[in-house]
Amino acid sequence: MKIMVSACLIGRKCKYSGGDNFDERTAALLRGHELVPVCPEVAGGLGVPRRPCEIVGDTVMNDRGENVGEAFRKGAEICLEKAREEGIDLAVLQPRSPSCGVRSVYDGTFSGRLTGGSGIFARLLMENGFRVVDAEEFASGEER
């Protein structure tokens, strides 16, 4: 399968903190597939490291109260285009991220609380008909 994957999941240090979200179990399951890594936040022009961001209403804010929604939307569009060009079969994304979260995201209060819903990029992929799962679903075998 050709799988689009959150770049931080396979060890790229593109997380807001400058780290990654490498997960051995997910990496092992991805082995043997053709991977298309993307980081929509970096694609949208945000740097590493960057301020933590959460979805607030219909946009995305950082923890200083700055509206970064445009960069999130731009990065999501760029990565959607890549998914189309590559003809991916599946996207496996990092849970809970304001871009890549699939089933839940932080609730916009910067207090660590989660709420149901998807990140900007995950939602755009789903709206355009792509199969999208988060790494936890993928590792649990729910999607294979």
Residue the block writes with tokens 């597939």: 33
Task: Kindly tell me the burial class for residue 118, based on how many C-beta atoms sit within 10 Å of its own C-beta (0-12, 13-18, 19 or more).
Answer: buried
Task: Kindly tell me the burial class for residue 30, based on how many C-beta atoms sit within 10 Å of its own C-beta (0-12, 13-18, 19 or more).
Answer: buried
* Contact present, 96 and 136 (Cβ < 8 Å): no
- Residue 14 as a binder of ligand SF4 (CB under 6 A): the answer is yes
Site for ligand SF4 in 99-128 (CB under 6 A): 99-100
Least separation in angstroms between CB 37 and ligand SF4: 8
Q: Which of 26, 62, 94, 118 binds ligand SF4 (CB under 6 A)?
A: 94
Task: Name residue 3's beta-bridge partners.
Answer: 35, 90
Q: Which of 6, 26, 62, 118 binds ligand SF4 (CB under 6 A)?
A: 6
Helix axes 69-86, 120-127, angle to 10 degrees: 40
Among the listed ranges 50-58, 62-70, 92-100, 123-131, the one in contact with ligand SF4 (CB under 6 A) is 92-100
- Residue 92 as a binder of ligand SF4 (CB under 6 A): the answer is no
The footprint of ligand SF4 on this chain (CB under 6 A) covers a number of residues equal to 12
Phi/psi at 99 (5° precision): -100, -50
- Residue 54 as a binder of ligand SF4 (CB under 6 A): the answer is no
- Residue 62 as a binder of ligand SF4 (CB under 6 A): the answer is no
Positions in the binding site for ligand SF4 (CB under 6 A): 6-8, 14-15, 39-41, 94, 97, 99-100
